[in-house]
Each structure stands twice: as structure tokens, then as C-alpha cells.
Structure 1
Amino acid sequence: MEGKEEDVRLGANKFTEGQPIGTSAQGKDYKEPPQAPLFEPEELQSWSFWRAGIAEFIATFLFLYVTLLTVMGVSKAGPNKCASVGVQGIAWAFGGMIFALVYCTAGISGGHINPAVTFGLFLARKLSLTRALFYMVMQCLGAICGAGVVKGFQPHLYQQSGGGANVVNDGYTKGHALGAEIVGTFVLVYTVFSATDAKRNARDSHVPILAPLPIGFAVFLVHLATIPITGTGINPARSLGAAVIFNRDHAWDHQWIFWLGPFIGAALAAMYQQVVIRAIPFKSRA
């Protein structure tokens, strides 16, 4: 409607801009929200739709910018101020940026910043196919631009240190890498579902929960576990952005792992949340 600010959507769940995702519900009454339609052409005429896509682009841009610069600082030869942070510092950079960016964008786009998260929420019918595809495109473009800016700042070091591209590290097979990506993404997407569960917020309204905190912490922990295996992808946009700008054969050879693994992990997390935790199919039959 002209002149009226639209409610922001996280899929089918409407949140006003003054109520960020993850805040506790005001009461304990709960009604199952309707599923998002598969196609919603009306979204294309809404400024909130385009604004959400721009927010995903900027968030993913900033995510790649900060995290890849951290990787470059740790990888830099010789003593430097970033060398001492090591793997833990890289993991904190990824987890901390997700925490900050989800907090900033949750009320605008839902704060996905990851095609695997978008895919999982789409399978759970939390958002339409139109919005899901738009988010994924904007996330990938933002990641490419973020990695490009990092290379512009440190072109020689960027190429020398591998550009932050995800590859299967020595001592591990492609099967190991695929399994690590599946399980790591499952942890992330399952945490997203749990932290943003409207029923849980209504039931536990006396226990406030800030959704970005557990999501960012999940990213941090997964990085600690899987950096030695793949450098940790669990985000196809992040892997694509680094590969496009680095543009070496060995980065492209393993690229399929960092799309297939996260999408399988996200699908498993969506299935587990909807079928086991929430028992949605059984409620529908009843």
C-alpha cells in the first residue's frame, strides 16, 4: 500500500522493523505461521523486497572483506600484528562478523548472508522461491566484490597466500572434505532454525534470546573444527567469491564440494527441524 511501511519478512513470519529476529515473544500464546507461497510475484513490486536483497549484498560484501583480510594478515610471512591470532583468530573473525551482520540485517532481510541458510529456510517454506533466488544471487555478488576489494588492497599477498580460497588440504580426501562441509553446515542451519523458532520464543518468553549470538558462535566452532580440512566453507557464496577472484585451477577443482556439501547439510537440517523437532507433517495430518 502506498505510504505505508511494510512488515519485514523472514519467510512467512512477519516482524516489524522494531522487533529484530530472535527477540522473545510478548506472550506464551502461539499459532503456527502459514507457509510462504512458492511464488509470490507481488514481492517484486515491493521496496522491502529490493531493500532486503541490497542488505544481503552489503552484508556478504562486508563478511568477505573482514574475514579474508584476517586470513591475509595471519598468512603474511614474517612477524606482524595478526600473526599471533592464528586459527583461533580466523575463526573468531568469521563467527564475530556473522554475529554482527545478522544482528544488523535480521530486521531487514532475515540476515541470511549464506545461500545454504537461504536454501534451508526455503525448504522449510519460510520464504518464497522468488526471494530465495534473489538472496542467493545478491549474496554471491557481494562475496565476489568483497574478495575483489581485498585483492585490490594486497594483490601480491592475496595470490601468494591462496586468496582465502577453500580447497581440500593435504592429508584429506574429497570425501573427508564433503563430509566436513555437510556436518558443519548442518550445525549452522540447525542453529539458525533453533535460534529463530517462533514457538520456542513464545514458550520461553521469560528467557530472552538474541539469535545472532548462537548463530555466530556456531560459525566460530565449526571453523575451529574444519579449518584444517577445507579452510571451512559452509557458505557457497564465500567459497565462490574467493575462487572467482583468486581464479586458480585447484580452487575451481574443489568448488563443487563447497556447494554440494552445504546444500546437503542445509537440507538435512531443514528436514530434521521440520519432521523431528517440530513434527510439522504429523500436525498437518491431524
Structure 2
Amino acid sequence: MEGKEEDVRVGANRFREGQPIGTAAQNGRDYKEPPGAPLFEAAELWSWSFYRAGIAEFVATFLFLYVTVLTVMGVAKSPSKCSSVGVQGIAWSFGGMIFALVYCTAGISGGHINPAVTFGLLLARKLSVTRALFYIMMQCLGAICGAAVVKGFQPHEYERLGGAANTLTSGYSKTSGLGAEIVGTFLLVYTVFSATDAKRNARDSHVPILAPLPIGFAVFVVHLATIPVTGTGINPARSLGAALIYNKHQAWDHHWIFWAGPFIGAALAALYHQIVIRALPFKSK
């Protein structure tokens, strides 16, 4: 339209997008693309908000492991699926905890609770390398402590029931397991990008309020699909915490899958969102 700066360079936006509906049709709020986070930000190291955010990630991941590991152990302990919450209950436990914890910590740390999510947001320049490394360290420590507390309360049951450690299910190849982790994490991180998109927040005021819901639901459906394959990792901290505290060879045999898959999936989701969904490389200066 005349009088308006072209939003996207040659070829990327030649045709008008579909007509917006509902609150998306309201244009009362202006939007300006926020600048990317600096690669390194040493000043963060002297800020209490930086450490407060790391503590929030630690506590959230600790609670996440504590509740979900206990849920998995409860299902493994039951003599029949009908006498426990079953696979659906495990999926609800993981998804529900992410929903609650993202809601609680989003305003402090962003509510990552997952090194793969942190890595994806780092690639999209939503946070600095300094903060990303600190978050990942605190998430892994929180996961280890969460699994350790469960083992401390129930040491014999923890060892007997496998400690909720992620393992590649017999009958599935390494390629199948890696693929499940890549696609599952892609769905999760893609949902995170969509639910927290600053442009959508500026246009639709309800988006930031509802953000934890689709993120938690994405975790739920991914668990339904991939529990039979890998027990569902899609979170390297969760996999590391359970494996380290259980510490049996079966927990380490294919542990690399639960790091490589989530990080590849997160990178692909960041690339897809930035290039295809937002078309940021084509934006006019």
C-alpha cells in the first residue's frame, strides 16, 4: 500500500496475506522489531536479576524432575496399566508441570526449563551466550537435584524401577530414536516461538497470558507419541538428571540421542520460525 514502508524485500511478500480475523484484525498497537540480544553481555554478571533468573530455572527444573520422576515410577510400579495413570497420566504430568512452571517463571527467567529451548532462543538472539550457558547449567543442576531427592526418599524403589531414565526401547533403531527426539523437540520449540512471538503479543493482547498453555500441551502430545520409542526426552536436563542419579549402563548406552536430538530439533525450529514464519532475513532496514 502507498504511504507504508515495504515490509519484506524482493519476492518474500509479493502477495497479501490472508485476511486477519478476531483480535488479529485490530491494528491499534504498533509493533517494532526488537533488537537482538548481544552475543556476550558481561554486565549481566553484576546484576541480581541475572542470578535470580538462574535460580528460578534451577527451582523450576528441580520441581519438574521431582514430580515427573515420581509419576513415571508410580506407573512402573503398578501391576497393571488400569491400576495407574498409565502413559496418558505420564504425558499429563510432564505437560501439566511445564504449563504450571512456565506460568510461574515466565516473568523472571522466561520459563525455559529445558536446555533445548534455551539453545533455540539463543540461536534466534533472544538471549546472550552468557545467560544461555548459565541457564543450561542451572537447569542441569536442578534436574540432578530433583532426581536425587526422589532417590533419597525412595532409594530401593528408585533403583528397582529404573529411575525414570530415558532409554531407547528395544525394537527401535538409533535412527528412530534420534528422529523422534528431533521432531518432538522441533514441535516444542516451534510452539515456544509462536506462543511468545513479540509481534503477536503486540497485536493480540491475550497471547502472553495464554502462552504457557500451548507450550504445556505441546509437551503433552509429544509424550503421547514418543514415550513408546525413547520414553520421551526432548529435554537434555531431564535426561541427564535421571541418567546420572540412576547411573546404570542402560541409561548411558544411547544417552547421546537425548542431547543431539533435542539440540538439532531446537536449531531447526529456530531456523524455521525466523526464516519462514517471520521472514526476518528479508525485512527492510
Shorter chain as denominator, the TM-score bin is 0.7 to 0.9
**Corresponding residue for residue 232 of structure 2:** 232
**Corresponding residue for residue 5 of structure 1:** none
Report the CA distance between 1:28 and its aligned residue: 2.0
What amino acid does structure 2 have at the position aligned with 1:110?
Answer: G
What amino acid does structure 1 have at the position aligned with 2:38?
Answer: P
Q: 1:208 to 1:100 in 2, by over 3 A?
A: closer
Which whole-Å CA distance do the structure 2 matches of 1:67 and 1:27 have between them?
43
Instruction: Check conservation: 1:28, 1:205, Cα contact below 8 A.
Output: no
Unaligned runs of 5+ residues in structure 2 are 1-23
Q: 1:210 to 1:160 in 2, by over 3 A?
A: same
Which whole-Å CA distance do the structure 2 matches of 1:75 and 1:207 have between them?
38
Helix, strand or coil at the partner of 2:40: coil
Report the CA distance between 1:78 and its aligned residue: 3.5
Report the CA distance between 1:204 and its aligned residue: 2.5
TM-score by length of 1: 0.88
Question: Which range moves more in the overlay, 248-257 or 206-215?
Answer: 206-215
What amino acid does structure 1 have at the position aligned with 2:133?
Answer: L
Helix, strand or coil at the partner of 2:90: helix
- Percent same amino acid among aligned pairs? 80
Which whole-Å CA distance do the structure 2 matches of 1:145 and 1:83 have between them?
29
Unaligned runs of 5+ residues in structure 1 are 1-23
**Corresponding residue for residue 169 of structure 1:** 169
Helix, strand or coil at the partner of 1:93: helix
**Corresponding residue for residue 142 of structure 1:** 142
Which runs of structure 2 are paired with 1:91-102 in the superposition (5 Å)? 91-102=91-102
Which whole-Å CA distance do the structure 1 matches of 2:239 and 2:232 have between them?
9
Which whole-Å CA distance do the structure 2 matches of 1:217 and 1:191 have between them?
9
Which runs of structure 2 are paired with 1:274-285 in the superposition (5 Å)? 274-283=274-283
Helix, strand or coil at the partner of 1:38: coil
1:33-55 deviations in Å (ceiling 9; x for gaps): 00000000000000000000000
Q: 1:186 to 1:207 in 2, by over 3 A?
A: closer
What amino acid does structure 1 have at the position aligned with 2:201?
Answer: N
What amino acid does structure 1 have at the position aligned with 2:67?
Answer: V
1:40-71 deviations in Å (ceiling 9; x for gaps): 00000000000000000000000000000011
Helix, strand or coil at the partner of 1:98: helix
Report the CA distance between 1:153 and its aligned residue: 1.6
Which whole-Å CA distance do the structure 2 matches of 1:102 and 1:171 have between them?
35
**Corresponding residue for residue 106 of structure 1:** 106
Question: Which range moves more in the overlay, 163-172 or 127-136?
Answer: 163-172
Q: CA RMSD in A?
A: 1.9
**Corresponding residue for residue 42 of structure 1:** 43
Instruction: Check conservation: 2:196, 2:208, Cα contact below 8 A.
Output: no
Q: 1:54 to 1:206 in 2, by over 3 A?
A: closer
Count of paired positions: 261
TM-score by length of 2: 0.88
Instruction: Check conservation: 1:236, 1:258, Cα contact below 8 A.
Output: yes
**Corresponding residue for residue 254 of structure 2:** 254
Which runs of structure 2 are paired with 1:1-286 in the superposition (5 Å)? 27-78=28-79, 83-205=83-205, 209-283=209-283
Helix, strand or coil at the partner of 1:156: helix
Report the CA distance between 1:77 and its aligned residue: 4.0
Which whole-Å CA distance do the structure 2 matches of 1:255 and 1:149 have between them?
22
**Corresponding residue for residue 12 of structure 1:** none
1:71-92 deviations in Å (ceiling 9; x for gaps): 1111114479x94310000000
Question: Which range moves more in the overlay, 177-186 or 69-78?
Answer: 69-78
Q: Name the larger-Rg structure.
A: 2
What amino acid does structure 1 have at the position aligned with 2:261?
Answer: G
Ranges of 4+ aligned residues in structure 1 off by more than 3 Å: 24-27, 77-80, 205-209
**Corresponding residue for residue 11 of structure 1:** none
